[in-house]
Chain A
Amino acid sequence: MHEMSLCEGVIQLIEQQADEQDFNKVTTVWLEIGALAGVEVEAMRFSFDAIARNTIADAAKLEIIHVQGHAACPLCKQQTEVSARFDLCPACGHYPLNILAGEEMRIKELEVQ
């Protein structure tokens, strides 16, 4: 359940932003989470509501932007969608593939007042 600590990280970064960018309420948080980031989205939602309580992001809406795993085969150059780190190249069966997208774990945007 490291989603709990990830949410603590999110709140810390938001509080830091609040100091620098002068806002005192966050109403929406957009997170970008990749399919290969090892993050359970439902656990993230659950943790966020709990961790955000009594902070600047209390009752903020959490929007999670899912990023599909995407990889390229170093041998045949085929690009493909992947759902796991160890997926084989669908064209030639080679592994490992070079991961191009899907490892994201980012705060993208905030709606603030």
Chain B
Amino acid sequence: MCTTCGCAEGDTTIEGHTHEHAHTHDHDHSHDHSHGHHHENALMATHAAGISPSRILKIEQDILSKNNAYASDNRGYFNQRNMLALNLVSSPGSGKTTLLTRTLNDLKGEVSLAVIEGDQQTVLDAERIRATGVKAIQINTGKGCHLDAHMVGHALESLKPEDNSLLFIENVGNLVCPASFDLGEAHKVVILSVTEGEDKPLKYPDMFHAAGLMLLNKTDLLPYLDFDVDQCIAYAQRVNPGITILQVSATTGEGMEQWYQWLLDLHQSIQTTTAQQITIDQDA
């Protein structure tokens, strides 16, 4: 474990390097002592004579507080650079990487793009992404079942995405664990393919609740399947009434235009907000 910045993810590597080689560990993170501690609440507990004295400390700290602090650092990084960062989540085999490579090929002329790829093992996905000409870096989580904000922070140091870019963070294929870990993204985008059950939103409600957009992928296969699209949408909306749902096929390209529009509108709104802020600053 790295004692300087608290890395505990001993199996995590970025493009085959362990943390120790990927960066210098000279962070000056401001969150290390930002939690409220309750020293005044420390109580002495009763204890038997002859045994070293034990005491009860009231802690009241969120288990995810460390991750959330790193996520907040990442969010600051994205805001400072006018970047739109999205966290792509799904089960394994939903067609996430295919959807992403098609998106990159179709949008690379319009906007600056970058990708952080998360998988337990191999750099295969980052290689697929780099074949599109887009900057990508692979995080291998080893035994880990999700990306966390700390790993993403380290990946950004190596990736160095351009200002104003659109960053896709492709999480480890898993509909459970990534739901709890904020990476600093603007939205989670959950990809569900029609070859999975339509009741997935109810079976994995935390993920669908956490997502801002759901892409229902592989719609070209609907004629061959017994998949009830309306029921699936109803389930997703029951878990998350505010969720936007788009139906796409990354193979045929059907519906992909709406997804691109969603991305470009969101990306544009970040640029516009910043431009307005600059105008206000100049007027002031």
Query: Could you tell me which A residues sit within 8 Å of B by CB distance?
Result: 1-2, 4-6, 8-13, 16-17, 20-21, 23, 25, 27, 31, 37-38, 84-86, 95-96, 105-113
Contact = CB atoms under 8 A, between A and B. Distances in A.
Task: Identify whether the interface residues of A are mostly helix, strand, loop, or mixed.
Answer: mixed
Interface of B: 6, 8-9, 32, 37, 39, 42, 45, 52-67, 143-146, 148, 176-177, 179-181, 202, 205-206, 209, 238-241
Given A27-B54, A86-B239, 19 more contacts: A1-B145, A2-B176, A2-B180, A2-B181, A4-B144, A5-B9, A5-B144, A5-B145, A13-B65, A16-B32, A20-B39, A38-B179, A84-B205, A106-B60, A106-B61, A110-B56, A111-B54, A112-B57, A113-B52
Given A8-B8, A86-B202, A86-B239, A107 B63 contact: yes
Contacts of B60: 106-108
Nearest to B207: A38
B195 to A, nearest CB: 23
A85 B203 CA distance: 11
Nearest to B242: A96
A20 B179 contact: no
Contacts of B202: 86
13 contacts: A2-B181, A6-B63, A9-B66, A12-B66, A16-B6, A21-B37, A23-B55, A107-B61, A108-B58, A110-B57, A111-B56, A112-B56, A113-B55
A17 B59 contact: yes
A80 B34 CA distance: 35
Interface pairs A-B: 4 shortest CB-CB: A2-B177, A8-B8, A38-B206, A107-B59
B64 A9 contact: yes
A33 B55 CA distance: 23
A38 B63 CA distance: 13
Contact of A12 (B8, B42, B146): B8
A85 B64 CA distance: 20
Contacts of B144: 4-5
Nearest to A21: B57
A67 B181 CA distance: 21
A11 B8 CA distance: 10
A60 B6 CA distance: 21
Contacts of A6: 63-64, 180
A38 B209 CA distance: 12
A113 B241 contact: no
